Chain A
């Protein structure tokens, strides 16, 4: 049962046929883990908090730096030097004190991923490195947790929702074996224009909302590709890889 304050806070979406009070309560019961409190994580977490996702977990092991503020809008100048998880919790709690924010000041790895992810319904990958993407994908596949994967570079972005066993996992599209040699050649910071993670991050939140509300069509078996210079999107068909090293045995 929603309180009067909750009805007031979420009034504009409760009046949508697809939401209603029942949908809002589903959001309140939802537990979503955001891995990375950077550009993607900032925006996806903000909108999930605003929309009433009841429990949001934030994973990040870094502190706020000046160069983050061009796109990581969970943070601000006063928080330079602060843990990103602390900063994230302050911002999200101020926006919506009605929800629970859990923080994990760790780098996700094979030792802790399964244990942390197991406490959540859905995972949002808001990462800035491939190595951890593979760890998260592997944990979500083994736990059969939905994973909303996003990535950005420059004016380009990618987004897909992974439902283990129902569509391709991350390794089906970007197998680790073929990535390793490519990635060793990349050096330096990844260039990212200010709005790119904002756009993809909001779409990641939208995927979460679709999953929690069981409405709309999540981006499973298709990867949304974004180009900021032409303001264009392309729906790229993606399929499971037979014998995938990660999800190949899943039905």
Chain B
């Protein structure tokens, strides 16, 4: 099934060719979790502060569905 990933806040440097805000289309297997997706993208779990799927916060064990839009953010908490 097809999903789309966006990465922000410097996580772009972890994915070859990734650009801020641009969707990365990916084909994943049924039952794939967000955590497995991070493994596939070789993004260390500890680098991701929050994960959103279709705008909703999820945990790493959330199972993805066809058409899901995943957004990954590192900690951005300064002021």
Contact = CB atoms under 8 A, between A and B. Distances in A.
A98 interface: no
15 contacts: A39-B78, A128-B77, A151-B76, A152-B76, A153-B74, A154-B10, A156-B9, A156-B10, A157-B76, A173-B50, A183-B75, A185-B46, A190-B78, A197-B78, A241-B56
A115 to B, nearest CB: 22
A227 interface: yes
Chain A CB within 10 Å, residue with most, of B20, B59, B73? B20
Nearest to A153: B76
Contacts of A221: 55
B78 A153 contact: yes
Contact of B55 (A126, A227, A239): A239
Contacts, number: 98
Interface string A78-92: 000000000000000
Nearest to B21: A234
Interface residues of A, number: 48
A238 B76 contact: no
A225 interface: yes
A232 B52 CA distance: 20
Chain B CB within 10 Å, residue with most, of A153, A154, A157, A230? A153
A164 interface: no
Interface of A: 36, 38-41, 125-130, 133, 150-158, 172-175, 178-179, 182-183, 185-186, 190-192, 197, 221, 225, 227, 229-230, 232-234, 236-239, 241
B79 interface: yes
Interface in B21-50: 21, 46, 49-50
Interface of B: 6, 8-10, 19-21, 46, 49-50, 52, 54-57, 59, 71, 73-79
A236 B52 contact: yes
B20 A172 contact: no
B78 to A, nearest CB: 4
Contacts of A129: 77
A174 B57 contact: yes
Contacts of A239: 54-56
Contact of A41 (B52, B55, B79): B79
A186 B75 contact: yes
Nearest to B11: A156
A192 B76 CA distance: 10
Contacts of B56: 239, 241
B50 A178 contact: yes
Contacts of B8: 156, 225, 227, 234, 236
A238 B52 contact: yes
Nearest to A185: B46
B52 A126 contact: no
Given A130-B77, A174-B49, A229-B20, 15 more contacts: A151-B78, A153-B9, A153-B78, A154-B9, A154-B10, A155-B10, A173-B50, A178-B50, A179-B49, A225-B21, A225-B73, A232-B21, A234-B20, A237-B55, A239-B54
